[in-house]
Amino acid sequence: MPLNPYLNFDGNTREVVQFYAQAFGLEEPQMMTFSSIHSEEELPPGAADRIMHTFLNIGGSTLMFSDTFPGMPFQQGTNNFSLALVLNDENALRDAFHKLKEGGTIVMELQEVPWSKVYGSLTDKYGVSWQFSMEAN
């Protein structure tokens, strides 16, 4: 059951990922921008080129990254990280989501999104941010 740290930045994810890729001797990864999923008309100014998702594999561990959406609060060290549970077992993913939401706050109910059959996010009762994603088979 992989748990992946997910780091958020305020518009400089591309720079951060390029820095880490160079530091660890890795190729620069593919980067999904907000405009690759949403039309320009759907996005607020400044969102189109922000990174929606990318990742690096460092020493066998996956470190994920994204920019915050314009207007979302950003506080380095407080809300710029989460844990991503990525499974190919839909029942186990849904079970973990429903257990962790007790006493917590749902940010995004589990649903199908362009990159996953099942995706959602929440903050548990201890203030830990979680993302849940069904891995493509």
Question: How large is the average pLDDT for residues 90-105?
Answer: 92
How does pLDDT run across 41-82, given as a tens digit for each residue? 788 888 889 999 999 998 788 999 999 887 777 777 666 888
Model confidence at 117: pLDDT above 90: yes
Distance in angstroms between the alpha carbons of the first and the last residue of the chain:
15
Q: Going along 41-115, which residue ranges are E strands?
A: 51-58, 61-67, 81-87, 105-113
Higher pLDDT, 106 or 83: 106
Contact by Cβ (8 Å): 90, 132: no
Q: What is the pLDDT of residue 22?
A: 94
Structural domains of the chain sorted by starting position, each given as residue range(s) with its CATH number in brackets: 3-134 (3.10.180.10)
